[in-house]
Structure 1
Amino acid sequence: MPRMLLIFPLVGIPLIPLVVPQGVFSTLHAQSAPPGSPKSPDKSANDGKPPPPASDVELVERLHAARKEYENSLKALYEHYARVGDRQRWKWVEEELLGYHLLFKPSYNLDVKDVPPATLKAEVNIPAANELYRAAMEYKGKGFGTEYILNQRRAEILLREILEKYPNSDKIADVAYQLGDIYESRAFRQYDRAARYFERAYQWMKGGRTDARLRAAILYDRYLNDRTKAIELYREHIAHDTDPDRIRQAERRLAELTGKK
Structure 2
Amino acid sequence: MFVLGLFLITAGCTQDQPAATTSTPGDTNTIQQETYTSNETLVAFVDSAAAYAKTYGKEKALAEFSNPNGSFVEGELYIYAYDFNGTTLAHPFNPEKIGVNRLAETDAQGGYFIKDLRDVAIKGSGFVRFYYINPAHNRSIEPKLGYVEKVDDDWWLGSGIYTDPTTPLTGAATPSPEVTSPSTPDIVGVWTGTSSGHIKTVGFRESAAHRYIITAQNGPAFTGYKEYTKADGVRYSENISGVIASDGEISIIDHDDGSALGKFIGPDEIELRYIENGDTAVALLFHLKREKN
Q: TM-score range by the shorter chain?
A: under 0.3
Scaled by the length of structure 2, what TM-score is found?
0.23
Scaled by the length of structure 1, what TM-score is found?
0.25
When Rg is computed on C-alpha atoms for both structures, the one with the higher figure is: 1
Bigger proportion of residues as helix: 1
Bigger proportion of residues as strand: 2
- Which structure has more relative contact order (CA 8 Å, sep 6+)? It is 2
